[in-house]
Amino acid sequence: MSELTLTGAEVDTLVALIECGPLSHGYEPSKSARDSLIERGLAVSIINKFEAGWTAATLTGCDAYKARFRAALGGKADTMLEAYAARVARQVINSAGSQP
């Protein structure tokens, strides 16, 4: 899958859906980004525990997450865990660079 262009809000929302989801409507970082991800097939509205109004990432959304957060040295992340580890490692490196 080629990497999709996502807005910052879409990335934040996709990360939340994958790492913390499914999320109840209203608990996503951005409602407009949620709607955009649904329109693009990266997320879907679902029923969770007999309650409508939840959002979850789709398999296409998972592929977009893996493409966005590539493995070390820019290689493709083969698993969700590998993509997650790469995302967290980059976040730590970036915040270490901002320390005094």
Q: Same domain, yes or no, for 13 and 27?
A: yes
Q: Answer yes or no: do 29 and 55 share one domain.
A: yes
- The rounded distance, in Å, linking the Cα atoms of 14 and 56 is 9
Over the stretch 27-73, which tens digit does the pLDDT of each residue have? 999 999 999 999 999 999 999 999 999 999 999 999 999 999 886 66
Work out how many domains the chain is built from and give that number: 2
Point out the least confidently predicted range of 19-23, 41-45, 75-79: 75-79
Q: What is the CATH number of the domain that holds 41?
A: 1.10.10.10
Same domain, 51 and 77: no
97 and 79 co-located in one domain: yes
What is the domain extent for residue 75?
Answer: 70-100
pLDDT recorded at residue 73? 63
pTM for this prediction: 0.86
How much is the mean pLDDT over the chain?
90
> Hey, which residues does 47 pair with through a beta bridge?
52
Are 59 and 95 contained in the same domain?
no
Both 79 and 62 in a single domain? no
Q: Which pLDDT belongs to residue 3?
A: 67
Report pLDDT for 100.
Answer: 61
Give the C-alpha distances (Å, rounded to integers) separating 7 from 12, 33, 54: 9, 8, 22
